Chain A
């Protein structure tokens, strides 16, 4: 079975550029989560969607970050403009809704902002 698919796997870009990360959740899952992982702060939830609707974006660090989910099989996380402190691994996860269902993660996008 196909798991959560993220692209690109690696992204290197210069400060000030726009970055778009993409995610395809597991078919049938109706909750989608974006996380950021760093050595200092571990895994942090940025935003999550239920049935394509953003439920909680309190983890989004600032207005430079935005996320969309135009349909059940696709989501994007955009950073504009990017800064070196945004360098991290960004993970997407999906699950069935219902509160305590396990989330299944993609293999992440390693983002480096120079």
Chain B
């Protein structure tokens, strides 16, 4: 069974204070690891897909990296508008189309 654990559960940062969110996973044959952002009252918004260890992707202040056991979402010089819940999900080789989500990290960036 695929499993995803995210840490920390909540993270408070000052504006400009860089940090990282962690996503640890166990999966049989990773087909993809996905990062989403979710704002209150909204559905998850797709950010990145990572397919293999060593891969990195960037978007504005966000950078996602992947190893064989975990993924990190690095946030550089965050702004208050980066405040949201960040969700990580994996798709395993035996679960065609099915995503297993972690519980998420609630990020709050104070001005």
Contact = CB atoms under 8 A, between A and B. Distances in A.
Of A33, A44, A45, A97, chain B has the most CB atoms within 10 Å of the CB of A45
B45 A105 contact: yes
A107 B43 contact: yes
Nearest to B35: A102
A42 B102 contact: yes
A56 B98 contact: yes
Given A100-B31, A100-B49, A100-B91, A31 B97 contact: yes
Interface of B: 31-32, 34, 36, 41-46, 49, 51, 87, 89, 91, 96-104
A43 B87 CA distance: 10
A40 B109 CA distance: 24
Contacts of A108: 42-43
B97 A50 contact: yes
A102 B41 contact: no
Given A45-B98, A55-B96, A99-B96, A104 B51 contact: no
Nearest to B39: A107
A102 B97 contact: no
18 contacts: A31-B97, A33-B99, A42-B101, A42-B102, A43-B87, A45-B99, A48-B97, A55-B97, A56-B97, A91-B43, A100-B51, A100-B91, A102-B34, A103-B34, A104-B46, A105-B44, A105-B45, A107-B41
A106 B43 contact: yes
Given A100-B32, A102-B34, A33 B97 contact: yes
A4 interface: yes
A33 B44 CA distance: 13
A112 B38 CA distance: 21
Contact of B43 (A45, A97, A102, A105): A105
A4 B104 CA distance: 22
Given A55-B96, A107-B41, A102 B101 contact: no
B87 A99 contact: no
Contacts of A99: 31-32, 91, 96-97
Contacts of A103: 34, 46, 99
